[in-house]
Amino acid sequence: MNIPSETILGVKISVVNYSNILEYIEKCFKNQNQIQIATPNPEQVIQAQTDSTFKKILNQVDIAIPDGEGVVWAVRKKLKNKKEIERIAGVDLMNILCQLAAKKNFTVGFFGGKGQTSFLAQKNFQEKYSQLKTVIIPAFADINNVLSAENEKIVKQINQNKVDFLFVAYGAPFQEIWIRENLKKMPTVKLAMGVGGAFDFYSGKIKRAPKFLQKLKLEWFYRLMQEPWRLKRQLRLLEFIYRNLF
């Protein structure tokens, strides 16, 4: 199924919103075997300008949700009907998909994250959706030194646990590249999505911005206050805005 999209600085962005995203996902299930979802934000779009592999994968995924107000702004400049697209935060879509998995009796796999975040996120999701089946996939010992034998072991565990939805929390571009390279090796996986720091939110390690800040489109600022080290990464937003003004 071809989901409507626009291109921003050479990167595909799916033109979706909360009212139709599940409809598109359900249709994709009926029309293809596996789905890869990416969550491009302004930082990732800029990152893709100097990383050809990452850019290629973002343009190959089945759904590239607009995870960033800057991305939505850039796409809306090209659309006649501005309501066709709205920001879909990856952390929110993960919750929506877990709810869907609980209804369909699917098994959800949590792969990646730091420390105990995946276990805490799993625990909180199971408390939220009592029917949800989940499994923890042991993380890589060191993503900077991934051994083929370790990767094969991880893929084998995913297959043995018959994971339907796989959430990969390693940050971009590693998670997107890993999914693209391994998805076909995991035939039980119906949907795989790179979720970055979503486990941090659902484990309780990082607090989500209050609703009023989300409505003011200042969620990025709230997170920056909690993680000042993100400042250098946030500067890419200025580059993104500048490149899309002209």
The stretches of 4-81 forming alpha helices (DSSP H) are 21-31, 42-48, 52-58, 69-76
- Which pLDDT score is estimated for 215? 72
- Which pLDDT score is estimated for 28? 86
Does 38 reside within a domain? Answer: yes
Helix/strand/coil for 14? strand
- DSSP annotation of 79 reads -
Instruction: Give pLDDT tens digits for 180-221.
Output: 999 999 999 999 999 999 999 999 988 776 777 777 677 776
Contacts of 136 (CB under 8 A, 6+ apart): 109, 110, 118, 119, 122
Contacts of 215 (CB under 8 A, 6+ apart): none
Does 231 reside within a domain? Answer: no
Does 219 reside within a domain? Answer: no
Does 230 reside within a domain? Answer: no
**Between these two residues, 2 and 37, which has the higher pLDDT value?**
37
User: 34-70 burial, b for 16+ CB within 10 Å, e for fewer?
Assistant: bbbbbbbbbbbbbbbbebeebbebbeebbbbbbbbbb
Q: Which two tokens stand for residue 2?
A: 């071809």
The range of the structural domain enclosing residue 15 comes to 5-203
Count structural domains, the chain: 1
Long-range own/partner contacts, residues 114-120 (CB < 8 A, 24 or more apart): 114/199, 114/200, 116/203, 117/169, 117/199, 117/200, 117/203, 117/205, 118/169, 118/199, 118/203, 119/203, 120/199, 120/202, 120/203, 120/204, 120/205
Does 181 reside within a domain? Answer: yes
Residue from 196, 199, 179 nearest 122 by CA: 199
Q: Which class for 99: exposed (0-12), middle (13-18), buried (19 or more C-beta within 10 A)?
A: middle
Does 211 reside within a domain? Answer: no
Cα separation of 49 and 9, whole Å?
8
CATH value at residue 51: 3.40.50
- Which pLDDT score is estimated for 238? 82
- Which pLDDT score is estimated for 137? 97
CB atoms within 10 A of CB 95: 17
Position 91, amino acid:
V
> Is the per-residue pLDDT at 172 higher than 90?
yes
Cα separation of 90 and 96, whole Å?
10
Cα separation of 220 and 214, whole Å?
9
**Between these two residues, 39 and 228, which has the higher pLDDT value?**
39
Instruction: Give pLDDT tens digits for 86-142.
Output: 999 999 999 999 999 999 999 999 999 988 999 999 999 999 999 999 999 999 988
Does 213 reside within a domain? Answer: no
